[in-house]
Amino acid sequence: MAKGRMKTAYTGVYYYEQPRAGGSGTEKVFYIVFKQTGKVYEEPAGRQYRDNMTAAKASRIRADRIEGRREAPGAARERESAEKLAQANRPTISRLWEWYLEANPGLKGIITDKNRFSKHLEPTFGDKLPDEIDPLSVDRFRVRLGKTRAPATVANALELLRRIVNFGVNRGLCNAPRFKIRLPKVDNLKTEDLSPEQLRSLLDALDTADNQDVAGIMRMALHTGMRRGEILRLRWADLDFRNGFILIRNPKGGRSERIPMNSQARNLLEGLGRTSDFVFPGRDGGQRVELRRAVRRICDAAGLPRDFRGLHGLRHAYASMLASSGEVDLYAIQKLLTHKSAAMTQRYAHLRDEALAKASAVAGKIVEQAQQPKVFHLDQKA
């Protein structure tokens, strides 16, 4: 019968009498008790016959544990577990991005940000801590991306990187870089316009496009000037056919806005099937995400310039048509485009001025003709 715990002549070393392993009779199984990293551990040191263990040997093992020369198995497991946890929670750019998404689930433009992060930022900065990023790596990233992407794309990628870093620093999750991430200046006032010939070619391409779902989205942009995200988020509940208005929820400018539903937009919308809560749903009935390639194919079929920016270009074309007509003032264009300030609408001012100049020239010609002296021919009877 096994006895209870027995003391030895050595502090923290004791033994139990247990059946001998692999033989008859009993043997001593030595245990040690010690404190390491502020925690008390108890572990077996070995068996008397199988391991040739003695109280003196067990005492030396205990001394090694206390002095840190040998780590206790339990402490080793805890250390490895802590190291794995620390590694998983290292505030790398990728980890900060995950926490940023968790903290901002309803952020506008999040789909674009996700694509921007996975395509541009993650391969270069994903496994780095913010304070491991240096100015040279940012400069190299800027130059490399700028070889294949537009300046605005480079600026937007760096802005997202800076936003992620600022999120981590402000939440106390990481140390700040030793320098400021500066964004390149971008002239983003490009304004697309469509000539009458280009507009006719585009309408023909839309009519004959294989993907009529995307063609409908492009028509919506051309008829209303709505932004890409506003069209893709549009739900049937946002359409007021009775009063002729479209509700734009949480536009880029801030609070929700209403814009008129013109006859072209109404005809387009009334011709669509209601298969989802979304007006222009994706394949699964949820919000559509990707359509860039299909838009590009239609623009190419219409013969539009390669730098024409798809749905964004159609929004500009809509505004340009209004401004150049001379019949719509800039304040009305601002409201239709849901610009938060008039400054953004000023890019169309020159088109408005040109239309007004032409109108003024017509009036001038009328007055000029009225001032011309009347010529009478001698053979003309009075």
Q: DSSP per residue over 184-252, as a string?
A: PP----------HHHHHHHHHHHHH-S-HHHHHHHHHHHHH---HHHHHH-BGGGEETTTTEEEE-S-T
Q: Is the pTM higher than 0.75?
A: no
Backbone φ, ψ for residue 221 (5° rounding): -65, -40
Residue 21 lies in a domain: yes
Structure tokens at 19: 């059946």
Question: Same structural domain for residues 203 and 302?
Answer: yes
Question: Same structural domain for residues 210 and 302?
Answer: yes
Residue 366 lies in a domain: no
Question: Same structural domain for residues 252 and 343?
Answer: yes
Residue 371 lies in a domain: no
- Name which of 53, 163, 180, 65 is nearest 109 in CA terms: 163
Q: What is the CATH number for 346?
A: 1.10.443.10
Residue 380 lies in a domain: no
Each of the 382 residues of the chain gets a pLDDT tens digit; together they read 446 789 999 999 999 998 888 778 889 999 999 887 778 888 889 899 989 999 999 999 999 888 876 655 555 666 666 556 555 568 899 999 999 999 988 777 788 899 999 999 999 999 999 999 999 999 999 999 988 888 888 999 999 999 999 999 999 988 999 899 988 876 555 566 788 899 899 999 999 999 999 999 999 999 988 889 899 999 999 999 999 999 988 766 567 888 889 899 999 999 998 999 999 999 888 999 889 899 999 999 999 888 888 888 888 888 888 877 777 777 777 778 777 766 666 665 555 556 556 555 555 565 566 556 656 566 655 4
Question: Same structural domain for residues 126 and 74?
Answer: no
Residue 319 lies in a domain: yes
Question: Same structural domain for residues 65 and 125?
Answer: no
What is the C-alpha to C-alpha distance for residues 211 and 294, in angstroms, rounded to an integer?
7
Of the candidates 68, 87, 106, which is a domain's last residue?
87
Residue 177 lies in a domain: no
Residue 243 lies in a domain: yes
Question: Same structural domain for residues 205 and 348?
Answer: yes
Question: Same structural domain for residues 65 and 156?
Answer: no
Question: Beta-carbon neighbour count of residue 354 at 10 Å?
Answer: 13
Q: Give me the sign of the Cα torsion angle 150, 189, 162, 143.
A: positive
Tell me how far CA of residue 315 lies from CA of 318, 323, 357, in angstroms: 5, 13, 24
What is the C-alpha to C-alpha distance for residues 220 and 58, in angstroms, rounded to an integer?
82
Of the candidates 69, 87, 105, which is a domain's last residue?
87
- Total domains in the chain come to 3
Residue 275 lies in a domain: yes
DSSP bridge partners of 138? none
Question: Same structural domain for residues 108 and 130?
Answer: yes
What is the C-alpha to C-alpha distance for residues 233 and 109, in angstroms, rounded to an integer?
11
Structure tokens at 262: 């013109």
Tell me, what's the pLDDT at 1?
Answer: 43
| Domain range for 71 | 6-87
Question: Same structural domain for residues 352 and 283?
Answer: yes
Tell me, what's the pLDDT at 378?
Answer: 60
Question: Same structural domain for residues 204 and 313?
Answer: yes
Of the candidates 170, 204, 219, which is a domain's last residue?
170
Question: Beta-carbon neighbour count of residue 188 at 10 Å?
Answer: 11
Question: Same structural domain for residues 124 and 79?
Answer: no
- Name which of 330, 316, 109, 324 is nearest 226 in CA terms: 316
Question: Same structural domain for residues 122 and 16?
Answer: no
